[in-house]
Structure 1
Amino acid sequence: MTPWTQLPPHLRWLDEECRRLLAFGARAAHPLGGAAWLGPTGEPAVDEPVRTWITARTVHVQSLGHLLGVPGCGPRADAALAGLTGVLRDAEHGGWHPSVAADGTPEGGKAAYDHAFVVLAASSAAVAGRPGARALLDEALAVLDERFWDDAAGLCADRWDTAWTALDDYRGVNANMHAVEALMAAADATGDPRWRGRALRIATSVVGWARATSWRIPEHFDPQWRPLPEHHADQPDHPFQPYGATVGHALEWARLLLHLEAGLAAAGPAPASGDLPGGELLPAARALYAQAVEDGWHADGASGFVYTTDWDGKPVVRDRMHWVAAEAIGAAAALHRRTGEDRYAEDYRRWWDWTAEHLLDLRDGSWVHQLDATNTPTGTVWPGKPDLYHAVQATLVPRLPLAPGLAAGLRAGLLA
C-alpha cells in the first residue's frame, strides 16, 4: 500500500487543510500591534495582552503561507512583524517583553522561550523576503547569544528581569527545545553554520538526560543544571512547565533531532569534538518517539495522547492537547521519511485519523486546542484556539524534506 505521505490525494488534502488553517488566522491583528490570541471562531481577543510568543508564531506561520503563495499571508506576516519591532520590543533595555497589556503596560521579565520564537519568526520572514525581517533576525540572534546562551553549559538560561540585572535560578528544556528549532531556521536564513552547531550542543545534553531516565525527558533544572523532578507537582497542568514527563515534547524532540541530523549532513563538516555524534541522532529519535507512544497513546483506556506522565510512565494530566497530536503526526512523518519503515507510516495514518475525528473543527475553523480525558472539548489550559503554529506545521512536515527547514524548503520549491 502506498504510504499516505506519498499519496497524491492525501497531499492535496494536506494542502487544503493548511490553507483552511491559514484562513482562520486572517483576523489575528491586535490593535496594539502584533497578533492577538484567537478565540473559538478566530476572533481576536483584543482585550487580552498582545504576547510575544503568539505574535512570533503568527509571523512564522503567515510567512510560510506567503511562501506557499496564499494571498493575504504576506501582509498578515508584516502586521505581526510590526509588533515585534514595535510595541513588544523593549527600546530601553533591549530584547522583547513577554507581553503588553491592553492599556500598554509591559509584562516584566525577559524569557528565552519568547526570544527563541522571535528568532524563528524573523528567520522565516527573512526567507520569505518580508521587509525588515533580516534586521530583526540579526538583533534577535544577538540578544539570544549575549543574554541567554551559556557557553559553558551549551544551553540557554531561562529568564531575566526586565533590565537584564538578575538571572532567575530556574533552567528549563522547553525554551531550549524551541531554541533548537529557531537556531536551525537561523542557520538556513543566514548561512552561518554556528547556529546549527549551537542546536547540536543543546540536543547533546537533552539526549543524554533522556537516555539516563528511560527516554522520559527531564524538563526542569536548578542553576547548575541538576534535575528538579518534582517541579510543579502542585501545578501538574502548567501550560509551559508541567510536572513530570511531557509526552508531546518527546515527540517534538524526535522530529527536531531528525531535522538536525539532516541539516548537519547537508552542511558537511563533522560536529565539534565532545558533541553528540550525528549518527546517534536517529537512534535517539526512535527511542524518544517509542517511549512517548508507549506512555501516552491510549494510556488511560481512552483514545488520544495524554498530556503528561510521572517518571514511571503513568498518566498524570489526562487531557488531550492538540499540539501533542500535531507533533505525533510530524514525528511519524519524519521517521518514515528517514527510515522508510512501514510502522511509522501506519502511525502517521492513525494519528491523522484520531485528529480528524476529535480535533478538526470544520464548523468554526482551526483545531480544538484541548480535550478532557473523555475527548470532550475544554479550555482549562488553552481557552479558545490561540494560534496555528503546531497544526500548520503538521500539514507541511510530511510534504517537505527533513532539511532545509520549512521556510527554506518552501522557498526552494521542495514541497510535495
Structure 2
Amino acid sequence: MPRRDPARRPTVIQVSSWPTNPAHHRWLDQHTRDLLAFGRRTADPEGGARWLDARGRPDPQQPVSTLLSARMTHVYAVGALLGVPGAGPVAEQSLRGLTGRLRDPEHGGWFPSVADRTVKAGYDHAFVLLAGASATTAGLAGGRALLAEAEAVFAARFWDDTAGRCADTWNADFTVLDGYRGINGNMHAVEAMLTVAGVTGDDAWLERALRVCRFVADTARAYEWRIPEHYDEHWRPLPDFHRDQPDHPFKPYGSTVGHGLEWSRLFLHAEAARPAESWLAEAARALFDRAVSDGWAVDGRPGFVYTTDWSGTPVVRDRMHWVATEAISAAAALHARFGEDRYATWYRTWWDYAGTYLLDHEHGSWFHQLDASNIPTDTVWPGKPDLYHCLQATLTARLPLTPMLAPAVARLVDPRP
C-alpha cells in the first residue's frame, strides 16, 4: 500500500478559477459547437434564417425575419471563424436573406420580416450592422457589401448626431420618424458600433458608441442605476410606458434587469477600446451590482426576475434565458477587468444555475423562458428562436474585452498581427 505524503495537499480547483480554468474552457468550446449543431436547420432555402422550435426545427408559423437572419448570420460567422464545418454555409444562406428578400431595394434598409413591410426598426438595423461586420471578419460571400450598406443606412437614418443617440422606428420609405425613443435599440447599436470600429478601424463608430454609453450612465445614475428604457422624441423618460404590457418581449414596463447586466459588459468593452474613458469601469460595477441586487433570487428561488418597478420590486418574475447569459458574460468581463473573486463566484453560480434549469439536456440549446418556479414556459418566447445570447455566453470568458466577438475570435484562432 503506497504511503501518503503528509506534506502534500490535494489539488483543489477554486471557484475563482472558473473564468480562466482551461478545463472549463474546454467545456465552453464543446457547448459552443453543440449549440451550432442544434441551430443548423435555421437557414431558409430562399435566404434568411428561420425561427426554431423547441427541438431546433424551423417553425412554419413564424416568418423569416431580419432580426433572426442577422443574429444567425453573426452566430454562424463566428462558427466559421472557429472552424466548425457547415457553419459558413449557414451564415451565407442567412445573409442572403439580408441581401435579398428582406432588403428594400427602393428606399434602402431592411423590413422587419418577409410578412411585414410597413416599418424600418433601428433594433433590426443594429443587428444587420453586426451581421455585416461579423460576416466580413469571417470572409463570407457578400459580407463586405452588406457591411458597407448597413453602415451607410444606419449612419444616415438611425444615428442622430445632435442627440448622440439612435432613433427607433421609421415608416417604410423613411419619410416619417416615430416619436418613440428607446434604449434597447441603442444598446444593440453600441454592440454593433464597437464591432464595426474593431473590424474597419473607423473610430467614428467608437465615438458614437461612447456618446450613447455616456447618456445611459448619466441617466441610470439618476435612477439609482436602474436604466429607464423608454423616452419621447425629446429624450424625456417615460417611466410608465407599457405598464399594461409588463412582459413585452422588447419594450417591457419598468427596469429590465438583464439590460443592466448587458450594459455593464458593453461599458467594459467600450473602456477597453478607449482606456482614457475610465468612468466606464465604475459605471459597469454600479450597473452590475444594482441588477444583481434587484434581480437575482429575490423571490426565494434561484434565477433572475425579468423586470422590476422603480423601487426594485419585481414586476414580471419569469426567468428569461437571455438574462442569465448576460449575467454570465458580465461577470466574466468584470472578472477580466478587476480580477476580483466575487465576480468569478457569480460566474460559476450562474453557470450552475443554467446547467440545472436552462440547458435542455435532452433536446439541446437553452429553454428561452422559465416561470417563477423555474419550469419551462413559452408565453413570451415560444420555442428556441436563435442562438445569439447563449452562444455569446460561451465565448466571453475566453476572449479579451477588445475587440468585440467576431474579430476577437479571429485573433484567437490566428494571433498573427
Residue in 1 that maps onto 2:171: 161
Residue in 2 that maps onto 1:348: 347
Give SS of 2:407's match: helix
- 1:290: how far off? 0.2
Give matches, 1:181-260, under 5 Å: 181-260=191-270
- 1:46: how far off? 3.1
Residue in 2 that maps onto 1:72: 86
Partner Cα separation in structure 2 for residue 67 and residue 98 of structure 1: 28
Residue in 2 that maps onto 1:33: 47
Q: Which of residues 69, 73, 77 in structure 2 aligns to 1:55?
A: 69
Aligned 8 A contact 2:246 2:253 in 1: yes
1:359-411, Cα deviation, whole Å (9 max, x unpaired): 11121110000000111100000000000000000000110000111111111
Letter in structure 2 aligned against 1:40: A
Partner Cα separation in structure 1 for residue 155 and residue 118 of structure 2: 21
Partner Cα separation in structure 1 for residue 363 and residue 341 of structure 2: 35
Q: Is 1:150 aligned with 2:164? A: no
- 1:76: how far off? 0.5
Partner Cα separation in structure 1 for residue 175 and residue 37 of structure 2: 42
Q: Which runs of 5+ in 1 are unaligned?
A: 271-277
Q: Is 1:413 aligned with 2:412? A: yes
Aligned 8 A contact 2:99 2:146 in 1: yes
Aligned 8 A contact 2:399 2:412 in 1: no
| % identical equivalent positions | 61
Residue in 1 that maps onto 2:9: none
Residue in 1 that maps onto 2:56: 42
Give SS of 2:270's match: helix
What's the TM-score, normalizing by structure 1?
0.95
Q: Which of residues 109, 120, 123 in structure 1 aligns to 2:119?
A: 109
Aligned 8 A contact 1:56 1:117 in 2: yes
Q: Which of residues 14, 17, 31 in structure 1 aligns to 2:31?
A: 17
Give SS of 2:293's match: helix
Partner Cα separation in structure 2 for residue 333 and residue 33 of structure 1: 35
What's the TM-score, normalizing by structure 2?
0.95
Partner Cα separation in structure 2 for residue 132 and residue 386 of structure 1: 24
- 1:207: how far off? 0.6
1:68-103, Cα deviation, whole Å (9 max, x unpaired): 1100000100000000000100111110001112xx
Residue in 2 that maps onto 1:275: none
Give SS of 2:249's match: coil
Residue in 1 that maps onto 2:305: 306
Q: CA RMSD in A?
A: 1.2
- 1:107: how far off? 3.0
Residue in 2 that maps onto 1:133: 143
Aligned 8 A contact 1:252 1:331 in 2: yes
For the pair shown, the structure with the greater C-alpha radius of gyration is 2
Residue in 1 that maps onto 2:8: none
Partner Cα separation in structure 1 for residue 414 and residue 339 of structure 2: 19
1:262-303, Cα deviation, whole Å (9 max, x unpaired): 0123xxxx6xxxxxxx11000000000000000000111111
- 1:30: how far off? 2.3
Aligned 8 A contact 2:69 2:95 in 1: yes
Aligned 8 A contact 1:400 1:414 in 2: no
Residue in 1 that maps onto 2:295: 296
Q: Which runs of 5+ in 2 are unaligned?
A: 1-13
1:116-140, Cα deviation, whole Å (9 max, x unpaired): 0000001001001111111111110
Partner Cα separation in structure 2 for residue 18 and residue 92 of structure 1: 39
Aligned 8 A contact 1:32 1:50 in 2: no
Partner Cα separation in structure 2 for residue 92 and residue 151 of structure 1: 25
Residue in 2 that maps onto 1:360: 359
Aligned 8 A contact 2:159 2:165 in 1: yes
Partner Cα separation in structure 2 for residue 397 and residue 415 of structure 1: 18
Q: Is 1:7 aligned with 2:24? A: no
Partner Cα separation in structure 2 for residue 339 and residue 415 of structure 1: 27
Letter in structure 1 aligned against 2:218: G
Give matches, 1:259-408, under 5 Å: 259-265=269-275, 278-408=277-407
Partner Cα separation in structure 2 for residue 406 and residue 415 of structure 1: 14
Letter in structure 1 aligned against 2:71: R
